[in-house]
A and B are shown apart, each in its own frame.
Chain A
Amino acid sequence: MSLAPAIRMRTPRVKISFQGACVSLLIALLVFAALFGPMLAPEAIYRSDILSSLQPPSAAHWLGTDDQGRDVLWRVIVGTRTTLLSAIAIVTAYSLIGVAVATIAASGPRWLDEALMRVTDVGLSLPSMIVALGFAAALGPSLQSAIIAQSITGWPITARILRNVMHQTMEAPFVAGAHVIGVSRWRLMTRHVLPNSLAVLLVKWTSDIGGTVLILSSLSFIGVGAQPPSTEWGAMIAGARGYVSTAWWTVLAPGIALAITSVAFGLLGDMIQAWRDPSLRESR
């Protein structure tokens, strides 16, 4: 879908819409901030300057200062690495687990498939954030605990989706045909089933990053994830919670960063899916 006329690029294969350009730019900015933010940030944001705490936005501090006198904008930028990397770690971890489980389920005997699917059923019927909360609290509140906890609760849905895709692929005529001619199961898995699944995985991986960032920051807000003075955005909001009326910029900035990140990655996932499967694109 385009909000404006499509911009035609030199290679006609890929049409980039206005929305697509915006999203790509945002993602690029986020990745840049995550990679180079801490390097570029001034030393001052790691030190307290209590005498200039809770200053409103000004020329010196574009988004004001927080309760320790640190520049809010730079802390948000530096926090991109903490937040984004943690989310990527979580999603990658549970995606790997999910792939493994799905492969075993799809290529193994029927009873194993049934058993594993019952297990994923459990994962789908339990509230994942609450279970993650329990684990993070039990392990001792910290960013690491939250990462471990979310990795533990995230894999069932991925496993389920991938296993379904694998089954679908395996039941496709060409695969059945190949099987009849005598192509080994292993070759079928590696040459046909897996690549197809990986495409789905990529879409899910991308979209999930946005949702994971939100859950991670929620856990920090509750107090079982990253603790202040971590630059994780949820921890920043938790620490600034008492200043909403007196210093709104301390709460607004990390929240907007969270919103932008989750929206951008969600849209990126949509875009990858649309690119991969044009039939899913909105036709006008």
Chain B
Amino acid sequence: MSRARSYLWFFAKRLGTVVFALWSLGSLVFLMIKVIPGDEAQIAAGPDASPDQVALVRQRLGLDASVIVQYFRFWGRLLHGDLGTSITTFQPVLLDLERTLPSTLELVVVAMLINLSVSIPAGLIAAARRGGRTDGLFRVLAVILGGMPAFWLALMLQYLLAARYRLLPISGQNSYGMEPPRWTGVPTLDAIAAGNMASLLDALTYIVLPAAVLAVLYSTQIFRALRTSLLGVLESDFIMAVRAKGATERRVLIGHAFPNSINPVLTLAGTQLGAMIGAAVLVETVFARRGIGTYMFNAVAQKDMYAVLGSVLFIGAIVCLINLVVDVLQIVVDPRIRAAQFGRS
């Protein structure tokens, strides 16, 4: 098989997995809808609906037909972007989600930046001082921090750093009057687009704490993975050769060991991106950010089932797609993974 064809074949297979995953997700959500106790039409129409309106909804959802027909109609609606209507905002759920998604993406991106900029240096230092006190300290910290529940950490840090000692803002995305005109829905990007430096700095102070809290768990994972990977590489023959050539320990570590141990770490970071979006639910609501997490949290509190399940579907689909993008990027970027993937047939 030519190289191009094997790439295409791989991409097609990968896409197939995504399609299958999305199909499964949709079917699971259909199952969830069916499982909700109570009258499905009433739940969809909302508690204020008159019996006539409920009957209309029953007809629209095709609830009088068999389950199979309902299933197909469900998919028909889904493919037209109809995730149902929220009974609290009275808007289509998809519209609500599109409005709140940018804020969540901003949180995840900043969290990932914080994650990598803390855990990679930490991993390097720990591997360099392997067995010493710093290494031990970092590893203990990683263990302890990795076991903390994110929402609890959010509450405690919000209290300590924001409410008690006023080092950072308490909740929200911007101070009053600092909100940039809405363009993408991402406060930092909108501030840049408006050329408003003060607004940008303001938005950054609001995102730092939530992003840091979100990053904690994942940075412990990256730290451990990098350290393990580095230690493995540092004992390999080729490093011995580099050392024999007389390179300084620092150069060995950063110039040679690091680039060769970065792959599993990047793989991990890629999967974490999707996981972070899920975990954002917990952090966003504590800091009252206007993202999907807060939307979902409020929907649960209000028993707004279509909003909840629509969010599940939406977030699941996004995570799936992000994983796909990450996988493809990996193939594109790293020749060794390319070889590993296409070396075997």
Contact = CB atoms under 8 A, between A and B. Distances in A.
Q: Do chains A and B touch in the complex (CB under 8 A)?
A: yes
A121 B21 contact: yes
Contacts of A266: 143, 146-147
Given A118-B20, A135-B32, A237-B152, A127 B278 contact: yes
A156 to B, nearest CB: 11
Given A222-B282, A223-B300, A237-B155, A126 B147 contact: no
Interface stretch (A73-81, A86-94, A255-263): A255-263
A134 interface: yes
B35 interface: yes
A137 interface: yes
Interface of A: 1, 3, 118-119, 121-122, 125-131, 133-135, 137-141, 210, 214, 217-218, 221-224, 234, 237, 241, 244-245, 248, 251-252, 254-255, 258-263, 266-267, 284
A125 B277 CA distance: 13
B29 interface: yes
Interface of A is mostly: helix
Contact of B309 (A122, A126, A134, A255): A134
Contacts of B279: 129
Q: Can you list the 9 inter-chain pairs with the closest CB atoms, starting with the nearest?
A: A263-B147, A134-B312, A127-B278, A255-B152, A138-B32, A262-B147, A122-B21, A244-B159, A122-B24
Contact of B278 (A129, A141, A210, A258): A129
Contacts of B282: 218, 221-222
B309 A138 contact: yes
B229 to A, nearest CB: 14
Contacts, number: 150
A168 to B, nearest CB: 16
Given A241-B155, A255-B156, A263 B21 contact: no
Given A119-B24, A244-B159, A263-B146, 8 more contacts: A122-B20, A122-B24, A126-B21, A127-B316, A214-B147, A222-B296, A222-B297, A259-B148
Interface string B163-196: 1100000000000000000000000000000000
19 contacts: A122-B21, A122-B25, A125-B21, A125-B320, A126-B21, A128-B278, A130-B315, A131-B25, A131-B312, A135-B35, A137-B309, A138-B36, A139-B35, A218-B151, A218-B282, A221-B151, A223-B297, A241-B155, A245-B164
A268 to B, nearest CB: 12
B305 interface: yes
Interface in B290-345: 296-297, 300-301, 305, 308-309, 311-312, 315-316, 319-320, 323
B257 to A, nearest CB: 18
Contacts of A222: 281-282, 285, 296-297, 300
